[in-house]
Amino acid sequence: MQKEDVKKLEFSLDPKSGVPYYKQIIIQVEMAIADGRLSKDEQLPTVRSLAVDLRINPNTVARAYNELEIRGIVTTQQGSGTFINTQEIEISAVERERFLAEITRPFIIKAASYGINLQEIIKYLMELEKNI
């Protein structure tokens, strides 16, 4: 290998998701840390460059970085940039449950529209799990 085969960090926004841009950025940073694409002391894109990349207002990026800093996930060094500050992301049980509900709901509803009920879904998933 000539170089590290690292999954590069790529931000992307979904305007239709209803999730505010700044939150999408926060989640993506957190996820990148969680799966190792970002690690301690690495630098995030600058506010301006990311704003240009994503074609959004720099204030929006700044807000995301700011909230990440408040949560202790990144540290901003005046004049030099924003850096990852931690190795681990902890997501609270409540957040976890809420997130699970959020992604599960449309899945259940879509299945139901084809006449597939919860029991059937569970049965299918248990089959799947057994065969992993």
Partner DNA sequence: GTGGTCTAGACCACA
Partner DNA sequence: GTGGTCTAGACCACT
Helices (H) then strands (E): counts for the chain: 5, 2
Residues numbered 1 to 60 that lie near a second copy (CB under 8 A) are: 15-16, 20-21, 27, 30-31, 33-36, 57
Is the Cβ of residue 8 or residue 114 nearer to a second copy in the bound state? 114
User: How many residues are there in the chain?
Assistant: 132
Query: Closest by alpha carbon to 76, among 54, 67, 16?
Result: 67
Write down the least CB distance from residue 103 to a second copy, Å. 6
**Three-state secondary-structure class, residue 75:** strand
Cα within 13 Å of Cα(52), Cβ side: 4
Binding site for a second copy (CB under 8 A): 15-16, 20-21, 27, 30-31, 33-36, 57, 67, 70-71, 75, 77-80, 83, 85-86, 88-91, 96-97, 99-101, 103-105, 107-122, 124-126, 128-129, 132
